[in-house]
């Protein structure tokens, strides 16, 4: 970084994570978007795609390849899974990269292939990538050129669970994560299942026992546990746009009580600007983090003596995607970590 203001590129700027980056970067004092790509809308201005972004001083959309990405300070990859590894694999060295796709999250190429059904196309970069759950990987993020930005479900579930595994407070074989997400998690692709008519006034589970975020969650938990962990993970689609709530059921080890989990989490996240451990038995709501990079965590004792319940909420487009990506950029470029991320929740 030799300039005062980092030049930022966004690959795939016309999805929701791209739009969200543009929203957040508008308030960033030291970064400036100088390149935005969209295969479908190249040549157009962003307000054709997102009228709410009209009036911003932003570059015209271009196709990947039309511009020299190497001259940028940072590149955010908001491309579809699969495409991302190809584009990033072919990128010149130089820019710091934060990839929001799933492509670089799984460290083990075999695990990747099993999960995504084909071999990875940029294995070297995959191996060098740092999994950017910022609060738990700050030092590594600082040193890397490629951050694999965590998924929305993995972010919301790992933040409460990993410190407890590291502290040896909970059993490894019985973690159950019941997660609920708003509709932005499905992206902007026009699909019947994402229509207002099909989503509103209703609720359903999906990807039961098979969702692709499961291996990503397990990778992180296993790292903290020091041994392979398998979890039960059930996502649900809730008729709202933003927000994830994870309700996580754990068995306590030996003489551990729920208050011990509270203490461990409070200690672990003390001073963190974005991860907040609420008072014991609190009831966090997704609407209370809307538009922010926050994760709220609460601990509840179980009705059965050796159990506890963890509640954690994020805005899936912010801490679960673009906000954490920006947080990672700030760490990589040695900017204040909260720069561009100071928004208060929009409620109601």
Contacts to its own copies from residues 45-104, by CB under 8 A = 50-56
The DSSP symbol for 104 reads: T
Evaluate the omega torsion of the peptide bond into residue 348 and state whether it is cis, within 30 degrees of 0: yes
Of 67 and 178, the one with the shorter C-beta distance to its own copies is: 178
Please report how close the Cβ of residue 219 comes to its own copies at its closest, in angstroms: 14
Residue 285 lies near its own copies (rule: CB under 8 A) = yes
The yes or no reply on residue 269 touching its own copies (CB under 8 A) is no
Measured between its terminal Cα atoms, the distance across the chain in Å is 40
Q: CB of residue 2 vs its own copies: minimum separation in angstroms? A: 28
- Verify binding: residue 346, its own copies, rule CB under 8 A: yes
Q: How far, in Å, CA of 191 to CA of 38, rounded?
A: 20
Length of the chain (residues)? 348
CA distance 251 to 257: 10
270 binds its own copies (CB under 8 A): no
348 is a contact residue toward its own copies (CB under 8 A) = yes
- Of 35, 78, 152, 295, the active-site residue reads 152
Of the pair 1, 283, the CB lying nearest its own copies is at: 283
- 198 is an interface residue for its own copies by CB under 8 A: yes
Closest among 159, 323, 183 to 244, alpha carbons compared:
183
Least CB distance from residue 176 to its own copies, whole Å? Answer: 5
Instruction: Provide the 3-class DSSP secondary structure of residue 35.
Output: strand
Among 1, 110, 123, 205, binds its own copies (CB under 8 A): 205
By CB under 8 A, residue 345 contacts its own copies: yes
Q: Tell me which of 8, 10, 130, 231 binds its own copies, using CB under 8 A.
A: 231
Q: Determine, following the binding rule CB under 8 A, whether residue 192 of this chain makes contact with its own copies.
A: yes
- 307-314 and 244-251 beta bridge pairing: antiparallel
CB 186 to its own copies: min, Å:
8
Q: Which is nearer to its own copies, 108 or 198 (CB)?
A: 198
Active-site annotation holds for 295: no
- Choose, by CB under 8 A, the member of 226, 281, 336, 338 that binds its own copies: 281
Asked if residues 102 and 154 have their Cβ atoms less than 8 Å apart, the reply is no
> Judged by CB under 8 A, does residue 202 bind its own copies?
yes
Q: CA–CA distance from 107 to each of 15, 77, 81, 147 (Å)?
A: 26, 18, 15, 12
The residue within the footprint of its own copies, chosen from 196, 255, 270, 271 (CB under 8 A), is 196
Verify binding: residue 149, its own copies, rule CB under 8 A. Answer: no
- Distances, alpha carbon 39 to alpha carbons 7, 61, 65, 158, 336, in Å: 21, 9, 10, 34, 33
Place of tokens 């011990």: 260
Give the whole-angstrom CA distance, residue 173 versus residue 305.
18
Q: Which of 177, 184, 120 is nearest to 321 (CA)?
A: 184
Identify which of residues 168 and 187 has a Cβ nearer to its own copies in the complex. Answer: 187
Which of 4, 143, 190, 255 touches its own copies by CB under 8 A? 190
Distance between CA 142 and CA 134 in Å, rounded? 10
Q: Which residues are catalytic?
A: 152
């Amino acid at each position: 970084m030799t300039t005062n203001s980092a030049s930022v590129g966004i690959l795939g700027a016309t999805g929701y994570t791209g739009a969200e980056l543009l929203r957040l970067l508008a308030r960033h004092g030291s970064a400036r978007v100088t390149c935005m790509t969209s295969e479908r809308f190249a040549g157009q201005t962003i307000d054709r795609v997102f009228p709410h972004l009209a009036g911003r001083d932003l570059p015209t959309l271009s196709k990947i390849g039309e511009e020299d990405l190497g001259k940028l300070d940072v590149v955010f990859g908001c491309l579809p899974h699969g495409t991302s590894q190809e584009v990033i694999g072919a990128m010149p060295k130089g820019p710091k990269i934060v990839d929001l796709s799933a492509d670089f999250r799984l460290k083990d190429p075999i695990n990747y292939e099993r999960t995504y059904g084909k071999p990875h196309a940029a294995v070297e970069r995959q191996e060098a990538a740092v999994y950017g759950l910022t609060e738990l990987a700050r030092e590594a993020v600082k040193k890397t050129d490629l951050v694999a930005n965590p998924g929305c479900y993995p972010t919301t579930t790992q933040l409460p669970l990993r410190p407890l595994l590291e502290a040896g407070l909970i059993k490894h074989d019985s973690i159950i994560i019941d997660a609920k997400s708003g509709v932005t998690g499905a992206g902007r692709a026009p699909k019947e299942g994402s229509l207002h008519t099909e989503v509103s006034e209703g609720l359903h589970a999906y990807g039961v026992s098979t969702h692709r975020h499961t291996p990503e969650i397990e990778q992180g938990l296993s790292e903290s546990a020091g041994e392979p962990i398998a979890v039960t993970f059930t996502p649900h689609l809730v008729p709202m746009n933003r927000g994830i709530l994870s309700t996580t059921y754990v068995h306590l080890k030996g003489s551990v009580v729920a208050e011990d989990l509270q203490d461990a989490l409070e200690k672990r996240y003390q001073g963190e600007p974005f991860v907040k451990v609420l008072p014991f038995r609190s009831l966090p709501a997704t609407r209370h983090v809307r538009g922010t990079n926050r994760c709220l965590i609460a601990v509840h004792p179980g009705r059965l003596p050796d159990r506890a319940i963890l509640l954690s909420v994020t805005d899936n487009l912010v801490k679960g995607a673009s906000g954490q990506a920006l947080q990672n950029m700030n760490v990589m470029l040695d900017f204040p970590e909260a720069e561009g991320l100071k928004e208060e929740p929009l409620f109601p």
